[in-house]
Amino acid sequence: MNEDLTRIAEARKAWEEGPLQEALKRYPYVQPDTCRFYTPLDVKDFSFLEKVGFPGEYPFTAGAFPVEPLAGMAKFAAMATKGGLPAAMGQTRAATYSGYGTPENTRDYYKGLLDRGGRAGPNLAFDLPTQCGYDSDDPLVEGEVGKVGVCVDTLRDFEIIYEPYQGDLDLDNIASNFTINAPADIIIAMYFALAEKRGIPLNKLRATPQNDILKEYIARGTYIFPPAPALRLFRDSLVFIAKNVPNMNITSIGGYHIREAGATREQDLAFSMAIAVAYLQAGVDAGLQVDEFAPRFTFNAFGGSMEILKEIAFQRAARRMYARILKERFGAKDPRSMRIRQPIGVHIGPSSTTLQRPLNNLTRAVIGAVAAALSGSTPVPFPPYDEPLGLGWSMEALQLAQDAGRIITCESKLLEYTDPFAGSYCMEALTDEIENAATAEFEKIEKMGGAVAAIENGYMQKEISRSAYEKRKRIENGETLVVGVNCFTGEQELEVTTNRLVAHPYDPEKRERAEEEQKRKLAELKRTRDSNQVARLLKELENQARNEEQNLIPILIECAKAYVTEGEMCNVLREVFGEYQPVSFL
Amino acid sequence: MTETEVKRRVRVLVAKPGLDGHDQGAKVIAMGLKDAGFEVIYTGLRQTPEKIVNAAMDEDVDVIGLSILSGAHLSITRRIMELLKEKGLESKMVIVGGIIPEEDIPKLKEMGVAEVFVSGTFISEVADFIQKNIK
């Protein structure tokens, strides 16, 4: 210990035994762990270049990029209010997550966005039947067609959704997002088929499929096949995209869903990293160099909570951990491979909101967004305060959330400082703490054989259920305080009503009619397509699926072009791969 | 032995109807009720009303807890209540939890649902309700 640290240690001891002890005696409800004060002693081996570095440089603790792209957002926002976003900034982005009813309903919704000056590509929310690999006419999915997103059965549906995207908004000029996992290969094959039919080369396409199947077994639950064949499907998409569609992202990995399902901060980070490693390894095992595909990995978000400082530390630790894994384990040389690209940081979600006194959820969303702004992300207050009141947000709640983000950006100017806590004894110690805890958990999973093994044996699922239950118990026994839920509750509750002054863009009547309409159209399509060709292609798909070495994307594109349905393709794959059977957690 | 001790433990089926995979609530309730002394059977995801009613019959449960967050609570619950009636199982206690808008609660109760537990409900409230109201 150098002389300075020795002196600090002595001074700390004197302070702890003297003034701190006295104060703790005087305020008996204050516990040592609720008045923590950090000193250089907490970050003894701290080396700025090794632990933090410059923004956009290894190990990326300070930031994934040299500048936060939206740091100049104030100016950008002002431009937006004066006459729309600058074309170049909106052009290759996808719209916000959207889609409902039939493909026609969703097409009309996007057409409306374009008519109002939007230039963004579709960011498709699929209904649950599509996400789970069932056609709209499957008896198992009755009542769910077109509900939480748009239904897609065949390429015909993609052709309809993309009708408004022609000319200077054709597929080579927009970006598309597909929130789909288990049948992601089929959906992207449909997109490639659409591009080929329109004569647009695949290397001009920009898109982001969520394509993060492994977290579906732990959270969110839209799995179909067991994890091992699911990873093979992931590999097929990775290899095909890396070789043929260089501007397309391969996956958008999400710790957010895992945290919302009850994971602790450390589990969120450890499980996300273990899953990312499984995906990266799949690419390497397929014979690719890591730098050929890792730059096309994205993260959609990690989770968040109300604990601002720990969440900032989490974001810093996540960037450093991922960078180290890429560099040290996979031997990446391209810095782009080592970066966590994510549209949202510190993504708090519905699990941070309360039904009681729902306006408080705006405060909570702002806390999450402040943490995001202080850790290198755009502040996107989420969710709108009326989230727990039912499905769908009021325009009032949406605007309040949006404006809160604008206030943080334009008025608080938090984004004008990159990693403002760098070098803080507290922040560096917290960052180390979270990284160490997550690394220990990550190594435990690696010892089991990695993410796939830890899902097959039910480890991750059970751990998340346990964490969720423990979190719930802490709220119920008052150990964790939630305002308006287990503390500060009283008789003077005000009833908060939400206003729906502007009609929702999704027409509820159309949504109700969607199932019948889609079933009718699907029956018609099945009558008019070449059924011999369909049967031949499905047989060929089955043969290729049985050969683990075979990349399935080309045959899936052929199937798509022949209007084979998603359910037909999934049923063949169910035959070959089997279906995932969840493990018991009780 | 007291009377309560010879009585068998109350059996609860926690079911997740439909394709929605948001099962944190269902799992937490299942674990909590188990710790509170109930026999708990969890169906897993993607259950049709038919599967749920069959499971309730096969497992001979006293209580059926439905966790629904997809917005489809009215149609799903209606179907389940119909099926229970068809099978002569209307004496089973049915409780519903999830994202249920306030205006739908009376509609569910009219169908015969014993109680609706919205998000944020303490597990102890659910356990107490079952204890007090089970016949």
**Looking at the whole model, is its pTM more than 0.80?**
yes
Q: Give the integer Cα–Cα distance in Å for A398 and B55.
A: 41
CATH code at position B53: 3.40.50.280
Distance from CA of B62 to the nearest CA of A (A): 19
Residue B84 falls inside a structural domain: yes
Those of residues 407-426 in A touching chain B at CB distance below 8 A are none
> Is B56 a member of any domain?
yes
Nearest Cα residue in chain B from A391: B71
Determine the distance in angstroms separating the CA of A287 from the nearest CA of chain B, rounded to an integer: 35
pLDDT in tens, A283-333: 999 999 999 999 999 999 999 999 999 999 999 999 999 999 999 999 999
Q: What is the pLDDT of residues A519-578, one digit of tens each?
A: 999 999 999 999 999 999 999 999 999 999 999 999 999 999 999 999 999 999 999 999
> Contact B32/A147, CB-based, under 8 Å?
no
Per the domain annotation, does B119 fall within a domain? yes
**pLDDT at residue A228 above 90?**
yes
Q: Does the beta-carbon distance from A472 to B45 stay under 8 Å?
A: no
Q: Which of A465, A475, A566 to mutate to test the interface with B (most CBs of B within 10 A)?
A: A465
Whether B27 and chain A come into contact, CB under 8 Å, resolves to: yes
Beta carbons of B27 and A469 less than 8 Å apart: yes
The answer to whether residue A199 scores a pLDDT higher than 80 is yes
Query: What digits encode the pLDDT tens for the residues B3-26?
Result: 455 567 999 999 999 999 999 999
If one counts the domains in chain B, the total is 1
Q: What is the ipTM of this complex?
A: 0.92
Residue B133 in domain: no
User: Does B134 fall in a domain?
Assistant: no
Over residues B77-100, the mean pLDDT reads: 95
Query: What is the dihedral sign for C-alpha A230, A232, A233, A234?
Result: positive
Answer yes or no: is B107 within a domain.
yes
Contact B30 A131 (CB under 8 A): no
Distance (Å, whole) CA A514 – CA A335:
46
Domain that holds residue B108: 10-127
Q: Three-state SS across A128-166?
A: HHHHCCCCCCCHHHCCCCCCCCECCCCHHHHHHHCCCCC
Query: Read out DSSP for A411-444?
Result: II-GGGSSSTTTT-HHHHHHHHHHHHHHHHHHHH
Q: Is residue B2 situated within a structural domain?
A: no
B70 to A147: CB separation less than 8 angstroms, yes or no: yes
Residue B28 counted as domain residue: yes
Residue of A77, A518, A68 whose CA lies nearest to A319: A68
CB contact under 8 A, B71 and A391: yes
Per DSSP, the three-state class of B13 is: strand
Q: Is A551:A239 a contact under the CB 8 Å cutoff?
A: yes
Match 């909590």 to its residue by tokens.
B32
Q: How far is CA B31 from the centre of its chain?
A: 14
pLDDT tens-place string over residues A259-283: 999 999 999 999 999 999 999 999 9
Is some CB atom of chain B closer than 8 A to the CB atom of A148? yes
Please choose, from the candidates A539, A525, A518, the residue with its C-alpha nearest in 3D space to the C-alpha of residue A138: A518
Q: What is the tens place of the pLDDT at every residue in A73-128?
A: 555 555 555 444 444 444 456 778 899 999 999 999 999 999 988 888 999 999 99
Answer whether A302's CB lies under 8 Å from A255's CB.
Answer: yes
Pairing assessment for the beta strands B115-118 and B93-98 based on DSSP bridges: parallel
